[in-house]
């Protein structure tokens, strides 16, 4: 039996935050605003 899940997570850009995607810090001028680390990949 296969089980499939689908999720999504969206955040706005923020100049004062780091950009973290998949637990990796990505060099960029803007990060993502959120209540936690705003990692859209890990939280989806």
Domain containing residue 12: 1-44
Q: What is the mean pLDDT of residues 30-39?
A: 88
- Tens of pLDDT, residues 10-23: 889 999 999 999 99
Query: How many whole angstroms separate alpha carbon 21 and alpha carbon 14?
Result: 14
Average pLDDT score, the chain: 89
Percent of the chain residues past pLDDT 90, beyond the cut: 59
Query: How many whole angstroms separate alpha carbon 11 and alpha carbon 8?
Result: 10
Counted residue by residue, the chain has a size of 44
Answer whether 0.75 is exceeded by the pTM. Answer: no
Q: How many domains does the chain have?
A: 1
Q: What are the CA-CA distances from residue 36 to residues 2, 5, 33, 40, 43 (Å)? A: 31, 22, 8, 11, 10
């Amino acid at each position: 039996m296969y089980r499939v899940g689908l999720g999504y997570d969206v955040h706005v850009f923020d100049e004062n935050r780091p950009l973290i995607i998949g637990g990796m810090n990505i060099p960029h001028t803007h990060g993502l605003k959120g209540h936690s680390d705003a990692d859209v990949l890990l939280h989806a």
